[in-house]
Amino acid sequence: MIGVMGAGAFGTALAVSLALGGRDVVLWARDGDAVARMRNDRVNPRLPGVTLPDTLTVTDDFDTLSGDFPVLLAVPMQKLRDAIRSQHAILDARPLVACCKGIELATGHGPSQVIAQELPGATPALLTGPSFAADIARGLPTALTLACAEGPCAEELQTALSAPNLRLYRTEDVVGAETGGAMKNVIAIACGAAIGAGYGESARAAVMTRGYAEMVRLAVARGAQPGTLAGLSGFGDLALTCTSTQSRNYAFGISIGEGAKFDPNITVEGAATARAVAKASRALGVEMPITQVVVALIDGKVDMETALGMLLSRPLKEE
C-alpha cells in the first residue's frame, strides 16, 4: 500500500503511475465534493484526459492513510508544515516522501527539515527531478531522484515507488537534492523573463549556466555534495524547467518579461523560494546575483532593462 496526500496534478499523476504499476494506492484530497466527482467520473479535472485506475482509491477520510506504509506528501512547499502538523498522529513514525520543491519562506528550511521538526518519529525522504505531471500520468518514461539519509529505508522506498515508466535513482544527500529542486524554480523564472523580454536563446543559456553556479554554491554552503547537483535533482530538473512552457515558474517568468498579467490562482513555488533563498544566502555569505534580481523583478522594484543592467555590469572575473 502507498498513500498520497494531496490530489493536485502531480500527486494524482504519481498515484496513477504507481497504481498502474501494480500498487494499491490511496489518494487523499481535502475537498469532499471533488473526491465524490473523482470517484464517479474516474477523472481529476486537474489532470484532464487521464483515467484513474480501479486500484486507486480516492478519499477525503485521512484515517484511510493509517498504517506503516509510505505516504507521499504532494502538497505545496509553503503549506507542507501546516498540512503534516494537522495529521501528526497518523503521519508520525513512518516513511514520508516530500514531493514538493522549494524552501520554506518563514524558516529557510527544505521539506526534509520541516518533516523532521514536525514529525520526529518519521523517516523523511524526497522525490524530485525533471518531471511533469502530464508525462508521468500518460506513462511516459521519467527518471527521478529519491533522496533519503537512511540507506535501508531508501532502498525499500526505491523499490516501492518504482513503476514501469518511473526509474528512481537514490542518494543520501537530501540537502543537495532539495536545494536543486528549489533553486531550479528560481532560475526558471529568470530564464522565462529573459525569453519574455525578447533577449533570446543565448541569454537564456547564460542565465541557466550562471544560475546553475548559484545553485551549487548555495547547496555546498548548506552542507551538500556538489556532485549531487550534476544529477537529476539539479542539472536535469534545471534543463527541463528552464525550457518548457509546461513549467509554471518558466511561464511566470515569461509573463514578467512581457509585462503581462499572470493567473494568481496558479501556484508558483519559485516566487516564495526566491525570497527565502535570498534571505538564506545573505546569512550564509553566498553570492547569488540572479536570485536577487528575480526577487527584485517579482516585487516590482526593477524593470527588465534595469535587471539586465544589474547583471551585465557586475565585475569581470574568471568563470
Would you please indicate which residues are annotated as catalytic (active-site) residues? Answer: 184
Residue owning grid cell 521519467: 142
**Reading across the β-sheet that carries 71-73, which strands appear in turn?**
56-59, 25-28, 2-5, 71-73, 95-98, 123-128, 142-147, 166-171
Taking each helix axis from N to C end, the angle separating 248-258 and 174-196, rounded to the nearest 10 degrees, works out to 30
CA distance linking residue 290 with residue 311, whole number of Å: 7
CA 26 to chain centre: 21
* End-to-end Cα separation, the chain, in angstroms: 49
Burial 240-272 (b: 16+ CB within 10 A, else e): bbbbeeebbbbbbbbbbbbeeebeeeebbbbbb
Residue owning grid cell 486500484: 55
